[in-house]
Protein backbone atom coordinates (compact mmCIF):
# COMPACT_ATOMS: atom_id res chain seq x y z
CA UNK A 1 0.00 0.00 0.00
CA UNK A 2 1.27 3.42 -0.97
CA UNK A 3 1.85 5.99 1.79
CA UNK A 4 -0.65 8.89 1.84
CA UNK A 5 0.77 11.75 -0.20
CA UNK A 6 -1.23 14.83 0.74
CA UNK A 7 -1.59 16.45 4.15
CA UNK A 8 -5.33 15.65 4.27
CA UNK A 9 -4.64 12.00 3.40
CA UNK A 10 -1.96 11.84 6.07
CA UNK A 11 -4.32 13.46 8.60
CA UNK A 12 -6.97 10.84 7.83
CA UNK A 13 -4.38 8.07 8.30
CA UNK A 14 -3.32 9.56 11.66
CA UNK A 15 -6.96 9.76 12.78
CA UNK A 16 -7.56 6.13 11.80
CA UNK A 17 -4.63 5.10 14.00
CA UNK A 18 -6.51 6.64 16.95
CA UNK A 19 -9.47 4.22 16.68
CA UNK A 20 -10.27 2.90 20.12
CA UNK A 21 -8.91 5.96 21.97
CA UNK A 22 -11.34 7.15 24.65
CA UNK A 23 -13.45 10.25 24.17
CA UNK A 24 -12.41 13.03 26.53
CA UNK A 25 -14.05 16.45 26.54
CA UNK A 26 -11.37 19.01 25.69
CA UNK A 27 -8.95 16.23 24.77
CA UNK A 28 -6.51 16.67 21.90
CA UNK A 29 -3.98 13.87 22.42
CA UNK A 30 -3.87 10.07 22.38
CA UNK A 31 -4.71 10.24 26.11
CA UNK A 32 -8.24 11.16 24.93
CA UNK A 33 -9.94 13.19 22.18
CA UNK A 34 -13.02 15.23 21.63
CA UNK A 35 -14.14 15.63 18.02
CA UNK A 36 -12.25 18.80 17.15
CA UNK A 37 -9.25 17.71 19.22
CA UNK A 38 -8.96 14.62 17.00
CA UNK A 39 -9.04 16.82 13.88
CA UNK A 40 -6.46 19.24 15.27
CA UNK A 41 -4.12 16.45 16.43
CA UNK A 42 -4.40 14.52 13.16
CA UNK A 43 -3.65 17.55 11.00
CA UNK A 44 -0.80 18.67 13.25
CA UNK A 45 0.79 15.20 13.02
CA UNK A 46 0.35 15.41 9.24
CA UNK A 47 2.21 18.73 9.16
CA UNK A 48 -0.53 21.38 9.20
CA UNK A 49 -1.69 23.61 12.05
CA UNK A 50 -5.48 24.00 12.13
CA UNK A 51 -7.90 25.66 14.56
CA UNK A 52 -8.91 23.89 17.78
CA UNK A 53 -12.70 24.22 18.00
CA UNK A 54 -15.44 22.89 15.76
CA UNK A 55 -16.71 26.44 15.14
CA UNK A 56 -13.22 27.65 14.15
CA UNK A 57 -12.80 24.65 11.84
CA UNK A 58 -16.21 25.40 10.28
CA UNK A 59 -15.16 29.02 9.68
CA UNK A 60 -11.78 28.02 8.21
CA UNK A 61 -12.79 25.15 5.94
CA UNK A 62 -14.05 25.95 2.46
CA UNK A 63 -17.36 24.31 1.55
CA UNK A 64 -17.11 21.14 -0.55
CA UNK A 65 -20.04 19.49 -2.40
CA UNK A 66 -20.78 16.02 -1.02
CA UNK A 67 -20.11 14.42 -4.39
CA UNK A 68 -16.60 15.94 -4.35
CA UNK A 69 -15.55 14.66 -0.91
CA UNK A 70 -11.91 13.66 -0.70
CA UNK A 71 -10.06 11.76 2.00
CA UNK A 72 -9.15 14.22 4.74
CA UNK A 73 -12.08 16.59 4.18
CA UNK A 74 -14.08 17.55 7.24
CA UNK A 75 -17.73 16.67 7.79
CA UNK A 76 -19.82 18.81 10.12
CA UNK A 77 -22.96 17.74 11.95
CA UNK A 78 -25.88 19.41 13.72
CA UNK A 79 -27.01 17.89 17.00
CA UNK A 80 -29.47 19.44 19.43
CA UNK A 81 -30.26 22.16 16.90
CA UNK A 82 -26.74 23.48 16.42
CA UNK A 83 -23.55 22.66 14.55
CA UNK A 84 -21.64 20.79 17.21
CA UNK A 85 -19.65 17.89 15.78
CA UNK A 86 -16.88 17.29 13.23
CA UNK A 87 -15.20 14.25 11.74
CA UNK A 88 -12.62 13.45 9.05
CA UNK A 89 -13.78 11.80 5.84
CA UNK A 90 -11.84 8.60 5.09
CA UNK A 91 -13.48 7.50 1.82
CA UNK A 92 -16.28 5.11 0.88
CA UNK A 93 -18.91 7.26 2.63
CA UNK A 94 -17.15 6.77 5.98
CA UNK A 95 -15.66 9.17 8.51
CA UNK A 96 -13.55 8.86 11.65
CA UNK A 97 -14.53 10.82 14.75
CA UNK A 98 -14.57 11.02 18.54
CA UNK A 99 -18.32 10.64 19.13
CA UNK A 100 -19.20 11.48 22.73
CA UNK A 101 -18.61 10.80 26.41
CA UNK A 102 -18.37 7.10 27.16
CA UNK A 103 -17.47 6.20 23.58
CA UNK A 104 -14.21 5.80 21.68
CA UNK A 105 -12.75 7.11 18.42
CA UNK A 106 -14.47 5.11 15.70
CA UNK A 107 -15.43 5.01 12.03
CA UNK A 108 -19.08 5.50 11.07
CA UNK A 109 -20.97 5.73 7.80
CA UNK A 110 -22.35 8.96 6.41
CA UNK A 111 -25.16 6.78 5.03
CA UNK A 112 -26.32 5.77 8.53
CA UNK A 113 -29.64 7.51 9.12
CA UNK A 114 -28.51 9.22 12.32
CA UNK A 115 -25.50 10.85 10.69
CA UNK A 116 -27.11 11.41 7.27
CA UNK A 117 -29.90 13.47 8.85
CA UNK A 118 -27.46 15.46 11.02
CA UNK A 119 -24.90 16.15 8.27
CA UNK A 120 -24.74 19.90 7.63
CA UNK A 121 -21.78 20.47 5.37
CA UNK A 122 -18.44 19.20 4.18
CA UNK A 123 -15.35 21.38 4.26
CA UNK A 124 -11.77 21.35 3.02
CA UNK A 125 -8.89 22.94 4.87
CA UNK A 126 -6.55 24.92 2.62
Q: Note if 85 is an active site residue.
A: yes
Q: Which of 11, 13, 35, 122 is catalytic?
A: 35
d(CA 10, CA 3): 8
Instruction: Kindly list the distances between the CA atom of residue 17 and the CA atoms of 40, 83, 104, 105, in Å, as whole numbers in the listed order.
Output: 14, 26, 12, 9
Q: Which of 61, 97, 115, 122 is catalytic?
A: 97
Contact present, 51 and 60 (Cβ < 8 Å): yes
Residue numbers annotated as active site:
35, 85, 97
Amino acid sequence: MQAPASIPERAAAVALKQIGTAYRYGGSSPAGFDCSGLVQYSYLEAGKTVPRTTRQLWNTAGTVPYDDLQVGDLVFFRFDGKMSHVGIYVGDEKFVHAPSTGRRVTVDSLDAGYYRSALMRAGRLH
